[in-house]
Structure 1
């Protein structure tokens, strides 16, 4: 068991019909690290996360969470993690409070501890006075917030988030960013997938960029800039160059120029 790494991926691959969705991925995430996982649509981000959380069996390789193999000891490993997908499945006929109590019972959280945590997170995301309403009456953003509360309620050691800011208003997104930073400072490990490059650049300790199932860049912002030989480059610049997005950016710039000429 490693005392340094919260997540250890070794030779992790997933093959569909002869095509590799994820190709022999080796990756170590330190305890307390906020790690950003980036890539174009279809690059292999969600497939990787599902293998890491025990939802999708790898074709080859292993995943360890705090030293526990998630496929050899799934129950023990899953006690330590929480996973919030980009489109969380909720129970529409439960109220917000009932949903959180259900999650609390699954993880056997003591009642006093549960009440304190639930109230804290509900207030943080502005749901405290709506927690008695049925989830089916919630907006998309509110559903995302109650799902976040459910993911955090048992104080997971490792938190997997797939596009967590989708549907959140700016205030809630800022609260989430602040919360994630605090959690990592206390020792929680956060693995976050996002398309919002500004969030990744400002928040994450390290970033990994995946394309066509292969990790093509890995490191801190300083290390990524050094690797590209561009000291002032933003994460967006680096990402677009590595993933072949320069043509899209040039097209957007051209359209902006044409719009200015029209005005």
Structure 2
């Protein structure tokens, strides 16, 4: 993979919580300008990995580089280059949508006039212009995701990290988010988003990394990872899911289920 320009690379990334190894030696690669999916079952280590990559959680071992910069040795420069929409999004709920963007712009040191211009454009594109002066506490889940994405894009980052960005989002809001992200990657920027919804990843992504039990088990262009199958079929094979009804989640041991009581 040395022949690709890398937006993100991790080397032997490890994170433990007590005796539990949440991430066990992850070598994640994301090409610059790609729409990349990080997929895996619940508990695979996706959120922990993204938290370390974005500087929110310090790894126990390993190295992380974004645009060639070490995340932990040059954190200020790295944070200027990234935008983050984390899982369990927390916002300043007593601000309006417009005030939230203004506040984020001030934190980033963007001139006030520039912040106002960018905020108005983002509010319009995100279909939030009519709700710009409503308090965020009154926003729906979809509206929160859209204003969170607007805040993450305000400083025009080179790499955008999204953790389950479409979870709980209605189809109209999801379509808006998708169109904005496609425009963003078309400009040469990079999106990395985690999900366990294979159909969504297959529709949006050109690069996929598959995690299972804290490790990357497959990685590369979407078509190569799929290998002629649907992504869901490839995913089930890679993570070791069984479809014979005899393993976990199968029929064995549930002979009572649906039976009529005597």
The verdict on a shared fold, with TM-score over 0.5 as the criterion, is yes
- Who is 1:170 aligned against? 171
Change (3 A) 1:126 1:20: same
- 1:144 counterpart SS class: helix
- Who is 1:37 aligned against? 38
Distance 1:187 1:152 in 2: 14
- TM-score, normalised to structure 2, is 0.88
Q: Deviations over 1:26-56 (max 9, x none)?
A: 1221211111000011100000000001111
Kept in 2: contact 1:36–1:191 (CA 8 A): yes
Compute the displacement of 1:91 (Å). Answer: 0.8
Distance 1:248 1:186 in 2: 45
- Who is 1:22 aligned against? 23
What runs of 5+ residues in structure 2 fail to find an aligned partner?
A: 251-262
- 2:234 counterpart SS class: helix
- Who is 1:244 aligned against? 240
Q: Deviations over 1:116-140 (max 9, x none)?
A: 3212221222211111011111122
Q: Which has the higher helix share?
A: 1
What runs of 5+ residues in structure 1 fail to find an aligned partner?
A: 253-263
Compute the displacement of 1:195 (Å). Answer: 2.1
- Who is 2:192 aligned against? 191
- Who is 1:107 aligned against? 108
- Who is 2:258 aligned against? none
- Who is 1:146 aligned against? 147
Distance 1:209 1:85 in 2: 19
Change (3 A) 1:103 1:248: farther
- Who is 1:85 aligned against? 86
Q: Deviations over 1:88-117 (max 9, x none)?
A: 111111111111000011112233332232
- Who is 2:256 aligned against? none
Distance 1:3 1:235 in 2: 23
Change (3 A) 1:140 1:215: same
Kept in 1: contact 2:106–2:112 (CA 8 A): no
Change (3 A) 1:249 1:156: farther
The Cα RMSD (Å) is 2.2
Distance 1:238 1:3 in 2: 24
Distance 1:77 1:134 in 2: 31
